[in-house]
Structure 1
Amino acid sequence: MTTAFNPGFTQYSPVTGLPTLPQGWPIGSYDTYEQAQRAVDHLADKNFPVEGVTIVGIEPMVVERVSARLTWGRVLGAGAASGAWFGLFVGLLLSFFTVGSGLYAILTGLITGVVFGTAFAAMRYGATRGQRDFVSHSQLVARRYDVLTAPANAERGRDLLLQIV
Protein backbone atom coordinates (compact mmCIF):
# COMPACT_ATOMS: atom_id res chain seq x y z
CA MET A 1 0.00 0.00 0.00
CA THR A 2 1.35 3.44 -0.80
CA THR A 3 0.62 6.83 0.67
CA ALA A 4 -0.85 9.67 -1.26
CA PHE A 5 2.25 11.79 -0.62
CA ASN A 6 4.78 9.51 -2.22
CA PRO A 7 3.54 6.61 -4.36
CA GLY A 8 6.71 4.65 -3.56
CA PHE A 9 6.42 5.05 0.24
CA THR A 10 4.36 2.39 2.00
CA GLN A 11 2.05 3.09 4.93
CA TYR A 12 3.50 0.03 6.61
CA SER A 13 7.01 -0.39 7.90
CA PRO A 14 8.88 -2.64 5.45
CA VAL A 15 10.73 -4.24 8.37
CA THR A 16 7.90 -4.99 10.83
CA GLY A 17 4.81 -4.70 8.62
CA LEU A 18 3.19 -2.44 11.23
CA PRO A 19 1.21 0.70 10.31
CA THR A 20 3.00 4.05 10.41
CA LEU A 21 1.72 7.50 11.32
CA PRO A 22 0.16 9.63 8.56
CA GLN A 23 2.34 12.29 6.99
CA GLY A 24 1.53 15.73 5.65
CA TRP A 25 0.54 19.18 6.72
CA PRO A 26 -2.91 19.98 8.15
CA ILE A 27 -5.04 22.10 5.84
CA GLY A 28 -8.32 21.87 7.75
CA SER A 29 -9.77 20.66 11.04
CA TYR A 30 -13.41 19.60 11.52
CA ASP A 31 -15.70 18.53 14.33
CA THR A 32 -17.32 15.65 12.39
CA TYR A 33 -16.18 13.10 9.84
CA GLU A 34 -18.96 14.27 7.54
CA GLN A 35 -17.50 17.80 7.48
CA ALA A 36 -14.01 16.47 6.71
CA GLN A 37 -15.45 14.29 3.96
CA ARG A 38 -17.25 17.30 2.46
CA ALA A 39 -13.98 19.25 2.55
CA VAL A 40 -12.16 16.54 0.61
CA ASP A 41 -15.06 16.33 -1.85
CA HIS A 42 -14.78 20.10 -2.33
CA LEU A 43 -11.06 19.73 -3.03
CA ALA A 44 -11.79 16.99 -5.59
CA ASP A 45 -14.39 19.21 -7.30
CA LYS A 46 -11.71 21.93 -7.63
CA ASN A 47 -9.24 19.49 -9.29
CA PHE A 48 -6.98 19.38 -6.24
CA PRO A 49 -4.75 16.25 -6.17
CA VAL A 50 -6.82 14.34 -3.59
CA GLU A 51 -4.51 11.34 -3.97
CA GLY A 52 -2.33 13.29 -1.54
CA VAL A 53 -5.03 13.86 1.09
CA THR A 54 -5.55 11.97 4.35
CA ILE A 55 -8.37 12.33 6.89
CA VAL A 56 -7.04 11.65 10.40
CA GLY A 57 -9.28 11.15 13.43
CA ILE A 58 -7.68 12.82 16.45
CA GLU A 59 -8.31 11.50 19.99
CA PRO A 60 -10.27 8.38 19.04
CA MET A 61 -12.76 6.97 21.53
CA VAL A 62 -15.21 4.09 21.67
CA VAL A 63 -18.76 5.26 22.24
CA GLU A 64 -21.33 2.70 23.40
CA ARG A 65 -24.91 3.84 22.97
CA VAL A 66 -27.53 1.97 25.00
CA SER A 67 -30.61 1.34 22.90
CA ALA A 68 -32.87 -0.80 25.09
CA ARG A 69 -33.31 -2.57 28.39
CA LEU A 70 -32.83 -6.34 28.16
CA THR A 71 -35.58 -8.45 29.72
CA TRP A 72 -36.33 -12.17 29.73
CA GLY A 73 -39.23 -11.54 27.34
CA ARG A 74 -37.02 -9.70 24.86
CA VAL A 75 -34.28 -12.35 25.10
CA LEU A 76 -36.66 -15.27 24.64
CA GLY A 77 -38.53 -13.52 21.82
CA ALA A 78 -35.32 -12.74 19.94
CA GLY A 79 -34.07 -16.30 20.46
CA ALA A 80 -37.35 -17.74 19.18
CA ALA A 81 -37.31 -15.46 16.13
CA SER A 82 -33.69 -16.29 15.32
CA GLY A 83 -34.33 -20.00 15.77
CA ALA A 84 -37.48 -19.77 13.64
CA TRP A 85 -35.55 -18.29 10.70
CA PHE A 86 -32.85 -20.94 10.92
CA GLY A 87 -35.41 -23.73 11.38
CA LEU A 88 -37.44 -22.45 8.43
CA PHE A 89 -34.30 -22.47 6.28
CA VAL A 90 -33.42 -26.05 7.29
CA GLY A 91 -37.04 -27.15 6.83
CA LEU A 92 -37.14 -25.67 3.33
CA LEU A 93 -33.91 -27.45 2.40
CA LEU A 94 -35.28 -30.73 3.73
CA SER A 95 -38.55 -30.30 1.82
CA PHE A 96 -36.64 -29.74 -1.44
CA PHE A 97 -34.50 -32.86 -1.09
CA THR A 98 -36.89 -35.28 0.65
CA VAL A 99 -39.60 -36.78 -1.51
CA GLY A 100 -43.13 -36.38 -0.12
CA SER A 101 -42.17 -34.49 3.05
CA GLY A 102 -43.27 -31.00 1.90
CA LEU A 103 -45.07 -29.04 4.60
CA TYR A 104 -44.19 -31.55 7.32
CA ALA A 105 -40.43 -30.91 6.94
CA ILE A 106 -40.97 -27.14 6.94
CA LEU A 107 -43.12 -27.20 10.10
CA THR A 108 -40.75 -29.61 11.85
CA GLY A 109 -37.77 -27.38 11.06
CA LEU A 110 -39.65 -24.27 12.16
CA ILE A 111 -40.81 -25.73 15.49
CA THR A 112 -37.42 -27.30 16.24
CA GLY A 113 -35.70 -23.99 15.42
CA VAL A 114 -37.98 -22.04 17.76
CA VAL A 115 -37.38 -24.51 20.61
CA PHE A 116 -33.61 -24.59 20.24
CA GLY A 117 -33.31 -20.84 19.57
CA THR A 118 -35.29 -20.05 22.71
CA ALA A 119 -33.33 -22.55 24.82
CA PHE A 120 -29.91 -21.30 23.68
CA ALA A 121 -30.90 -17.66 24.17
CA ALA A 122 -32.11 -18.47 27.70
CA MET A 123 -28.84 -20.25 28.51
CA ARG A 124 -26.71 -17.36 27.19
CA TYR A 125 -28.70 -14.71 29.04
CA GLY A 126 -28.91 -16.79 32.23
CA ALA A 127 -25.13 -17.22 32.23
CA THR A 128 -24.67 -13.43 32.54
CA ARG A 129 -26.63 -13.42 35.84
CA GLY A 130 -27.96 -9.91 35.24
CA GLN A 131 -24.55 -8.35 34.68
CA ARG A 132 -25.55 -6.84 31.32
CA ASP A 133 -29.27 -6.08 31.19
CA PHE A 134 -29.17 -3.78 28.20
CA VAL A 135 -28.66 -3.75 24.44
CA SER A 136 -26.05 -1.38 23.04
CA HIS A 137 -24.15 -0.53 19.89
CA SER A 138 -20.48 0.50 19.88
CA GLN A 139 -18.92 3.03 17.56
CA LEU A 140 -15.38 4.32 17.08
CA VAL A 141 -15.39 8.12 16.80
CA ALA A 142 -12.83 10.91 17.08
CA ARG A 143 -12.96 14.23 18.88
CA ARG A 144 -11.94 16.00 15.65
CA TYR A 145 -10.87 15.17 12.11
CA ASP A 146 -7.85 16.79 10.44
CA VAL A 147 -7.35 16.86 6.69
CA LEU A 148 -3.67 16.47 5.75
CA THR A 149 -1.91 16.86 2.43
CA ALA A 150 1.62 16.89 1.05
CA PRO A 151 3.56 20.05 1.99
CA ALA A 152 3.85 21.08 -1.67
CA ASN A 153 0.04 21.27 -1.96
CA ALA A 154 -0.80 22.59 1.51
CA GLU A 155 -1.12 26.30 0.67
CA ARG A 156 -3.40 25.69 -2.31
CA GLY A 157 -5.47 23.22 -0.26
CA ARG A 158 -6.00 25.74 2.55
CA ASP A 159 -7.04 28.42 0.05
CA LEU A 160 -9.58 26.06 -1.55
CA LEU A 161 -11.01 25.04 1.82
CA LEU A 162 -11.52 28.71 2.77
CA GLN A 163 -13.99 28.90 -0.15
CA ILE A 164 -16.41 26.47 1.56
CA VAL A 165 -19.38 28.37 2.96
Structure 2
Amino acid sequence: MTSATTTPGFAGAQRPSALPTLPEGWPIGSYGTYEGAQRAVDHLADSEFPVQDVTIVGVEPMLVERVAARLTWGRVLGSGALSGAWFGLFVGLLLTLFTQGAGIAPMLIGLVTGVVFGLVSAAIGYRATRGKRDFVSSSQLVARRYDVLCQPRNAERGRDLLGALAMGNPFATN
Protein backbone atom coordinates (compact mmCIF):
# COMPACT_ATOMS: atom_id res chain seq x y z
CA MET A 1 0.00 0.00 0.00
CA THR A 2 1.46 3.35 -0.97
CA SER A 3 0.67 6.58 0.75
CA ALA A 4 -0.33 9.74 -1.04
CA THR A 5 -0.84 13.32 0.01
CA THR A 6 -3.08 15.96 -1.44
CA THR A 7 -1.29 18.55 -3.57
CA PRO A 8 -2.15 22.09 -2.39
CA GLY A 9 -4.18 24.01 -4.94
CA PHE A 10 -5.52 20.95 -6.76
CA ALA A 11 -8.64 19.53 -5.18
CA GLY A 12 -8.45 15.77 -5.09
CA ALA A 13 -5.03 15.58 -6.79
CA GLN A 14 -2.75 12.95 -5.35
CA ARG A 15 1.00 13.21 -5.00
CA PRO A 16 3.00 10.00 -4.48
CA SER A 17 4.96 9.56 -1.27
CA ALA A 18 8.58 10.75 -1.18
CA LEU A 19 9.88 7.16 -1.09
CA PRO A 20 10.41 5.42 -4.44
CA THR A 21 7.68 2.91 -5.27
CA LEU A 22 6.96 0.76 -8.29
CA PRO A 23 4.11 1.97 -10.51
CA GLU A 24 0.80 0.17 -10.28
CA GLY A 25 -1.86 -0.43 -12.90
CA TRP A 26 -2.60 -2.11 -16.17
CA PRO A 27 -0.98 -0.94 -19.41
CA ILE A 28 -3.48 0.91 -21.63
CA GLY A 29 -1.03 2.41 -24.13
CA SER A 30 2.64 2.44 -25.13
CA TYR A 31 4.45 5.27 -26.96
CA GLY A 32 7.88 5.82 -28.45
CA THR A 33 8.16 9.36 -27.07
CA TYR A 34 7.17 11.14 -23.90
CA GLU A 35 5.26 13.61 -26.06
CA GLY A 36 3.09 10.77 -27.36
CA ALA A 37 2.33 9.52 -23.85
CA GLN A 38 1.58 13.06 -22.71
CA ARG A 39 -0.76 13.58 -25.68
CA ALA A 40 -2.57 10.34 -24.78
CA VAL A 41 -3.10 11.40 -21.17
CA ASP A 42 -4.23 14.83 -22.34
CA HIS A 43 -6.79 13.09 -24.58
CA LEU A 44 -8.00 11.08 -21.58
CA ALA A 45 -8.36 14.30 -19.56
CA ASP A 46 -10.28 15.96 -22.41
CA SER A 47 -12.60 12.93 -22.43
CA GLU A 48 -13.36 13.46 -18.72
CA PHE A 49 -11.49 10.27 -17.83
CA PRO A 50 -10.34 10.04 -14.17
CA VAL A 51 -6.67 10.83 -14.92
CA GLN A 52 -5.73 10.51 -11.24
CA ASP A 53 -5.77 6.74 -11.97
CA VAL A 54 -3.14 7.13 -14.73
CA THR A 55 0.65 6.90 -14.55
CA ILE A 56 3.25 7.47 -17.28
CA VAL A 57 6.20 5.12 -16.91
CA GLY A 58 9.48 5.49 -18.79
CA VAL A 59 10.74 1.99 -19.61
CA GLU A 60 14.45 1.26 -20.12
CA PRO A 61 15.72 4.65 -18.98
CA MET A 62 19.06 5.89 -20.26
CA LEU A 63 21.17 8.96 -19.67
CA VAL A 64 21.97 10.74 -22.94
CA GLU A 65 24.79 13.27 -22.95
CA ARG A 66 24.89 15.49 -26.01
CA VAL A 67 28.23 17.17 -26.66
CA ALA A 68 27.76 20.81 -27.69
CA ALA A 69 31.27 22.21 -28.12
CA ARG A 70 34.97 21.83 -27.41
CA LEU A 71 36.08 23.52 -24.20
CA THR A 72 39.06 25.86 -24.59
CA TRP A 73 40.86 28.27 -22.27
CA GLY A 74 39.28 31.18 -24.14
CA ARG A 75 35.77 29.80 -23.69
CA VAL A 76 36.39 29.04 -19.99
CA LEU A 77 37.87 32.47 -19.22
CA GLY A 78 35.22 34.29 -21.24
CA SER A 79 32.42 32.48 -19.43
CA GLY A 80 34.08 33.11 -16.04
CA ALA A 81 34.55 36.80 -16.78
CA LEU A 82 30.96 37.18 -17.94
CA SER A 83 29.40 35.45 -14.94
CA GLY A 84 31.71 37.35 -12.59
CA ALA A 85 30.75 40.62 -14.28
CA TRP A 86 27.05 39.98 -13.78
CA PHE A 87 27.51 39.09 -10.12
CA GLY A 88 29.82 42.05 -9.50
CA LEU A 89 27.42 44.41 -11.23
CA PHE A 90 24.56 43.12 -9.08
CA VAL A 91 26.53 43.61 -5.85
CA GLY A 92 27.63 47.06 -7.01
CA LEU A 93 24.03 47.99 -7.80
CA LEU A 94 22.94 46.94 -4.31
CA LEU A 95 25.73 48.98 -2.75
CA THR A 96 24.78 51.99 -4.88
CA LEU A 97 21.14 51.74 -3.80
CA PHE A 98 21.97 51.59 -0.10
CA THR A 99 24.86 54.08 -0.02
CA GLN A 100 23.77 57.70 -0.12
CA GLY A 101 25.69 59.84 -2.62
CA ALA A 102 28.00 57.03 -3.79
CA GLY A 103 27.31 57.57 -7.49
CA ILE A 104 28.27 54.76 -9.84
CA ALA A 105 31.63 54.02 -8.19
CA PRO A 106 30.34 50.93 -6.29
CA MET A 107 28.92 49.50 -9.53
CA LEU A 108 32.22 49.98 -11.37
CA ILE A 109 34.22 48.52 -8.48
CA GLY A 110 31.80 45.58 -8.26
CA LEU A 111 32.03 45.00 -12.01
CA VAL A 112 35.84 44.96 -12.07
CA THR A 113 36.11 42.86 -8.91
CA GLY A 114 33.52 40.42 -10.24
CA VAL A 115 35.39 39.98 -13.53
CA VAL A 116 38.66 39.30 -11.69
CA PHE A 117 37.09 36.78 -9.31
CA GLY A 118 35.19 35.14 -12.19
CA LEU A 119 38.39 34.76 -14.21
CA VAL A 120 40.36 33.34 -11.29
CA SER A 121 37.67 30.88 -10.15
CA ALA A 122 37.02 29.66 -13.73
CA ALA A 123 40.75 29.17 -14.34
CA ILE A 124 41.22 27.25 -11.10
CA GLY A 125 38.23 25.03 -11.85
CA TYR A 126 39.30 24.28 -15.41
CA ARG A 127 42.92 23.65 -14.41
CA ALA A 128 41.74 21.17 -11.77
CA THR A 129 40.23 18.93 -14.48
CA ARG A 130 43.67 18.55 -16.11
CA GLY A 131 42.21 18.18 -19.58
CA LYS A 132 40.02 15.19 -18.69
CA ARG A 133 36.83 16.94 -19.75
CA ASP A 134 37.54 19.35 -22.59
CA PHE A 135 33.99 19.64 -23.86
CA VAL A 136 30.65 21.22 -23.00
CA SER A 137 27.60 18.97 -22.92
CA SER A 138 24.08 18.65 -21.62
CA SER A 139 22.57 15.53 -20.10
CA GLN A 140 19.03 14.28 -20.41
CA LEU A 141 17.25 11.26 -18.94
CA VAL A 142 15.15 9.56 -21.61
CA ALA A 143 13.42 6.20 -21.97
CA ARG A 144 13.20 3.76 -24.84
CA ARG A 145 9.39 3.84 -24.56
CA TYR A 146 6.70 5.32 -22.34
CA ASP A 147 3.85 3.17 -21.07
CA VAL A 148 0.58 4.62 -19.81
CA LEU A 149 -0.76 2.60 -16.89
CA CYS A 150 -4.22 2.83 -15.36
CA GLN A 151 -5.83 1.43 -12.23
CA PRO A 152 -7.85 -1.71 -13.11
CA ARG A 153 -11.23 -0.09 -12.32
CA ASN A 154 -10.93 2.22 -15.37
CA ALA A 155 -8.38 0.41 -17.55
CA GLU A 156 -10.83 -0.95 -20.13
CA ARG A 157 -12.40 2.45 -20.79
CA GLY A 158 -8.95 4.08 -20.97
CA ARG A 159 -7.75 1.47 -23.46
CA ASP A 160 -10.85 2.06 -25.60
CA LEU A 161 -10.32 5.84 -25.58
CA LEU A 162 -6.64 5.52 -26.51
CA GLY A 163 -7.46 2.93 -29.19
CA ALA A 164 -9.93 5.36 -30.76
CA LEU A 165 -7.30 8.11 -30.64
CA ALA A 166 -4.78 5.83 -32.38
CA MET A 167 -7.35 4.99 -35.09
CA GLY A 168 -7.83 8.70 -35.82
CA ASN A 169 -11.29 8.98 -34.29
CA PRO A 170 -10.68 10.45 -30.82
CA PHE A 171 -14.39 10.85 -30.01
CA ALA A 172 -15.59 7.36 -30.92
CA THR A 173 -15.84 6.01 -27.36
CA ASN A 174 -16.83 9.10 -25.37
After TM superposition, the score normalised by the length of structure 2 is: 0.84
Work out the CA distance in 2 between the residues paired with 1:98 and 1:22.
57
- How many pairs does the alignment contain? 157
- Partner residue in 1 for 2:4: 2
Name the Cα RMSD after superposition: 2.0
**Structure 2 SS opposite 1:68:** strand
Compute the displacement of 1:11 (Å): 4.8
- Partner residue in 1 for 2:124: 123
Compute the displacement of 1:51 (Å): 1.2
Work out the CA distance in 2 between the residues paired with 1:110 and 1:56.
48
Compute the displacement of 1:19 (Å): 2.1
Compute the displacement of 1:154 (Å): 1.4
- Aligned counterparts, 1:48-87, within 5 A: 48-87=49-88
1:96 touches 1:102 (CA, 8 Å); kept in 2? Answer: no
1:63 touches 1:140 (CA, 8 Å); kept in 2? Answer: yes
Deviations 1:36-91 (A, max 9, x none): 01001111111211110010111111111111111100000000000000110111
Q: Which 5+ residue runs of structure 2 have no aligned equivalent?
A: 6-11, 169-174
Compute the displacement of 1:152 (Å): 2.1
Percent identity between the two aligned chains: 72
- Partner residue in 1 for 2:153: 152
Compute the displacement of 1:98 (Å): 2.3
What amino acid is aligned across from residue 74 of structure 1 in structure 2?
A: R
Q: Work out whether 1:104 is the aligned partner of 2:105.
A: yes
Compute the displacement of 1:158 (Å): 1.0
Q: Which 5+ residue runs of structure 1 have no aligned equivalent?
A: none
Work out the CA distance in 1 between the residues paired with 2:40 and 2:63.
24
- Partner residue in 2 for 1:133: 134
- Aligned counterparts, 1:81-96, within 5 A: 81-96=82-97
What amino acid is aligned across from residue 114 of structure 1 in structure 2?
A: V
After TM superposition, the score normalised by the length of structure 1 is: 0.88
CA, structure 1 residues 149+73, in 2 after alignment: closer, same or farther (shift >3 Å)?
same
Work out the CA distance in 2 between the residues paired with 1:118 and 1:71.
14
Compute the displacement of 1:97 (Å): 2.2
Deviations 1:91-139 (A, max 9, x none): 1112222233211111111011101101110110011111100111111
Q: Which deviates further from its counterpart, 97-106 or 72-81?
A: 97-106
